[in-house]
């Protein structure tokens, strides 16, 4: 997600710093963005000149200090509240401008809890992109109880006018709009597979060919990442205590086994030989 969001910013002509503390992950981010930009050219979405211009707007760094002069920082680390809190707290101390905005790309963690870990809760909000960020037009904007209305208005105008995204607003509730509706559907499909009601390929085929969905729920869960689906489900269950939000045992076992979906090569469907 971080690579995709960085690409969106660079393609909008914005000087963009991509920061990843791990050198291997930073190299992977560069490779993902490069591959995505070349694919966009191959598919006729952008011209070769646009690809070169976007690449010229990208800077890669392995130290958060490289973000000190930024006006907007989008945090897109793992969907873990403790990790996100640590990163946002560190960024708060680094950013030089008092009116710099910290945005979190969390899928489900309440923004208020993340914002109060900083000294600028009025300038912290949720800016939730969807995968793949360069292609999907939607962004959820989430104000916490502390977010200043003017800050939210400024970021919404930026997301629509500069990034060209369709923005919807949500109250600060776990899952926001999309995942509060989507994740129970995905969990229901996982429970159906777990119970042996139907095979994964048949569950997916049913929703694709019977309901005209572009992708079946288990394929979609694999694309999102089963660890991310589980993390969102836990956040939803913690917030609402509704059984339909609880991660099914099969999902938890697959995550423990490292079967995370497309990114690991295997989930409910295989994505590489063996």
CB contact at 8 A, 206 and 198: yes
Written in H, E and C, the secondary structure of 8-39 is: HHHHCCCCEEEECCCHHHHHHHHHHHHHHHHH
Region of residue 42 (phi > 0: left; psi between -120 and 50: alpha; otherwise: beta): alpha
How far apart are alpha carbons 57 and 149 in whole angstroms?
30
How far apart are alpha carbons 202 and 212 in whole angstroms?
14
Q: Of 123, 128, 146, 219, which one is the catalytic site residue?
A: 128
Burial of 252 (0-12, 13-18, 19+ CB in 10 A): middle
Question: Is the link from the previous residue into 168 a cis peptide, with omega within 30 of 0?
Answer: no
Q: Of 3, 105, 144, 179, which one is the catalytic site residue?
A: 179
Q: Is 235 an active-site residue?
A: no
Q: Is 140 an active-site residue?
A: yes
Q: Of 7, 20, 140, 156, which one is the catalytic site residue?
A: 140
How far apart are alpha carbons 107 and 179 in whole angstroms?
7
Question: Closest Cα to residue 72, out of 23, 138, 8?
Answer: 8
How far apart are alpha carbons 73 and 124 in whole angstroms?
10
Q: Is 36 an active-site residue?
A: no
Catalytic positions, written as ranges:
107, 128, 140, 179
């Amino acid at each position: 997600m971080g690579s995709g969001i960085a690409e969106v910013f660079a393609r909008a002509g914005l000087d963009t710093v991509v920061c990843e503390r791990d050198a291997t992950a930073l190299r992977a981010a560069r490779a993902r963005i490069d591959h995505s930009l070349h694919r966009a050219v191959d598919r006729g979405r952008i011209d070769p000149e646009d690809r070169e211009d976007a690449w010229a707007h990208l800077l890669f760094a392995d130290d958060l200090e490289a973000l000190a002069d930024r006006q907007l920082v989008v945090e897109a680390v793992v969907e873990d509240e403790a990790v996100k809190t640590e990163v946002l707290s560190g960024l708060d101390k680094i950013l030089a401008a008092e009116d710099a905005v910290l945005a979190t790309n969390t899928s489900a963690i309440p923004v208020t809890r993340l914002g109060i870990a900083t000294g600028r809760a009025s300038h912290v909000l949720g800016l939730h992109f969807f995968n793949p960020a360069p292609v999907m037009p939607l962004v959820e904007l989430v104000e916490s109880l502390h977010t200043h209305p003017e800050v939210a208005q400024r970021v919404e105008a930026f997301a629509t006018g500069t990034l060209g995204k369709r923005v919807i607003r949500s109250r600060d509730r776990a899952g926001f709009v999309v995942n509060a509706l989507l994740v129970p559907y995905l969990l229901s499909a996982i429970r159906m597979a777990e119970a042996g009601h139907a095979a994964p390929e048949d569950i997916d085929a049913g929703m694709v060919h019977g309901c005209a969905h572009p992708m079946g729920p288990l394929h979609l869960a694999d694309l999102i990442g089963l660890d991310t689906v589980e993390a969102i489900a836990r956040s939803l269950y913690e917030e609402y205590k509704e059984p339909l939000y609880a991660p099914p045992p099969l999902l938890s076992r697959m995550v423990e086994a490292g079967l995370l979906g497309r990114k690991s090569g295997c989930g409910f469907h295989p994505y590489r030989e063996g």
